Amino acid sequence: MDQSLRALGGKAKAASARPATWPGRFRNGIAPRRILQTGDHLFEAGDAQSDAFIVRSGHLKSYRVHRDGEEQILGMHGPGDVLGFDILIGRPASCSVVALEIASLELVDLGRGEVGDAGTAGYMSVLEGMYRELQRFSRLLYMDRHPAERRLAEFLLDFSREEGERGRSYYDLMLPFNRRDLACFLGLAPETLSRTFSRFQERGILSVDNREIHIIDNEALVAAAGE
């Protein structure tokens, strides 16, 4: 998997620093757009899909609910991320996606070949989105092997990089996840997550005010992530 990720990442790198655009379904330069309010679903597991979406603003989470009712959070998605890849293989949605805040998304019909040819902005955007998803699932596979501090540090560094690539601060972060969702995503008990945040504050690595996170000592956070 690591080799596949590196190969795909090399092809997607050229698109990572710019906003994605779609050459399909534009009318007078404007792509179809959906606005979701907090708590609105973009789609739910099992839904038939004919379109994919690119996030323009806001954050969403993808999740599955197991037979015992337990929710598994698969990822958090922000501006530039692509959602709805199941349409590429003609299958219904494999997970649910819900808005964590007001979110704006543009629509593209992947099922009708409207992504564009290799090398176009649309093609590269989809490629980059697939690369990001592979990275996310690769991290999920190994997350439960790591202690709590490493899990939280890895998440914060990943989120920091993504925010920086979107033109925002690398060090002043506003988490769209609440503590319960973040604990669920990291595979930790909420109490364990709270204690881990407290330890990072005591060591001068972070300043934490609810969802507002300020990275004080980035090098120490990198060390905690094992990078």
Q: pLDDT by residue (tens digit) across 77-125?
A: 988 888 988 877 788 999 999 999 999 998 875 545 555 555 555 556 6
Burial of 42: CB neighbours in 10 Å, binned 0-12, 13-18, 19+: buried
The torsion of the CA quartet 176, 97, 31, 18, rounded to 10 degrees, works out to: 50
Class of residue 205 by CB neighbours under 10 A (exposed 0-12, middle 13-18, buried 19+):
buried
Q: What is the C-alpha separation between 81 and 128, in angstroms, rounded?
A: 8
pLDDT at 18: 37
Compute the distance between CA of residue 127 and CA of residue 130 in angstroms, rounded to an integer. Answer: 5
Q: List, by residue range, all CATH 2.60.120.10 domains of the chain.
A: 2-143
pLDDT value, residue 69: 86
Q: Which CATH class is domain 148-224?
A: mainly alpha
Judge whether 8 and 134 are in contact, CB under 8 Å: yes
Report the candidate in 75, 28, 31, 89 with the shortest Cα–Cα distance to residue 56.
Answer: 31
pLDDT of residue 129: 67
Provide the pLDDT for residue 96: 96
Nearest to 173 by CA among 146, 199, 197, 138: 197
pLDDT at 138: 67
pLDDT at 117: 52
Between vectors from CA 96 to CA 51 and to CA 189, what angle results, nearest 5°? Answer: 150
**Would you say the C-alpha torsion 176, 80, 97, 155 has a positive or negative sign?**
negative
pLDDT for the residue numbered 121: 55
pLDDT value at residue 151: 94
pLDDT of 14: 39
Residue 192 pLDDT: 97
Exposed, middle or buried, 62 (CB in 10 Å: 0-12/13-18/19+)? buried
SS3 of the chain: helix, strand, coil, percent, to 5 = 40, 20, 35
Report CA Rg, the chain. Answer: 18
Low-confidence ranges of the chain (pLDDT < 50): 1-29, 111
- Beta-bridged to residue 71, according to DSSP, are 65
pLDDT for the residue 136? 67
* CATH number, span 2-143: 2.60.120.10
Q: What is the DSSP letter of 184?
A: H
Give the pLDDT of residue 58: 94
As annotated, the residues of the chain forming the CATH 1.10.10.10 domain(s) are 148-224
- pTM higher than 0.75 for the full model? no
